[in-house]
Amino acid sequence: MSTWANLGLQDSASPLMEQLTFFHDHALLILVMITVLVGYLMFMLFFNTYVNRFLLHGQLIEMIWTILPAIILLFIALPSLRLLYLLDEINEPSVTLKSIGHQWYWSYEYSDFNNIEFDSYMIPSNELPNDGFRLLDVDNRVVLPMNSQIRILVTAADVIHSWTVPALGVKVDGTPGRLNQTNFFMNRPGLFFGQCSEICGANHSFMPIVIESVPVNHFINWISKNINS
């Protein structure tokens, strides 16, 4: 979960988010190098007095400063493409969760387990317990097993929403009339918070997502308790 003074990405909780973090750092490093170089050159322009009345063109330098940035862009484009295809890969999921966006809450369906379904509303600030997270906690959390491949199907009932959980590297639009698919793998237990990230109406900011990542046997207990009730 993100707290104050966290300007970068959240700590990753899945292998894909780890890869996304690596790519972010890689791209940022290239960006810093370019900014420093260009900044230095621009700064130094104030202090030189180079004048050449006969200089009209320079073929060589133009070739260099055209091709070099193109090569640098390749070093960003190729890892980016690798990541794009990696994120789309589905690896035999053991659990499927369907999440449906509504104005303004999420509802969930565990279609593998006798179709357990429930709504997940944000807890209003005046009802929040002392240890709750304001504007981020929900009444019914999504419980999912850690160390398992999880498929998530996202759709919406009214307008476009987006099911986004930064720590897992998941961000999928829920569009009415369409079913979008992605998957993730949680490599540690914990609470992972997310929010809707399509501007979906007046209370767009108030439809958070909370995932409880638990050991598999705990998940089985939870699911069997909910099937019986």
Residues that bind ligand CUA (CB under 6 A): 101, 104, 161, 196, 198-200, 204, 207
- Give the closest residue to 94 by CA, choosing from 201, 186, 202, 190: 186
* Nearest residue (CB) to ligand CUA, 63 versus 157: 157
* Nearest residue (CB) to ligand CUA, 12 versus 164: 164
Shortest distance (Å) from residue 75 CB to ligand CUA:
35
Sort strands 149-156 and 180-185 into parallel, antiparallel or unpaired. antiparallel
Shortest distance (Å) from residue 63 CB to ligand CUA:
48
Residue 8 CA, distance from chain mean position:
13
Shortest distance (Å) from residue 16 CB to ligand CUA:
23
4 cis-preceded (ω within 30 degrees of 0): no
* Nearest residue (CB) to ligand CUA, 80 versus 203: 203
d(CA 75, CA 23): 11
Instruction: Find out whether 210 and 41 touch, Cβ atoms under 8 Å.
Output: no
Instruction: Find out whether 24 and 9 touch, Cβ atoms under 8 Å.
Output: yes
Shortest distance (Å) from residue 204 CB to ligand CUA:
3
d(CA 60, CA 191): 57
d(CA 109, CA 27): 38
Shortest distance (Å) from residue 205 CB to ligand CUA:
8
* Nearest residue (CB) to ligand CUA, 32 versus 199: 199
* Nearest residue (CB) to ligand CUA, 105 versus 219: 105
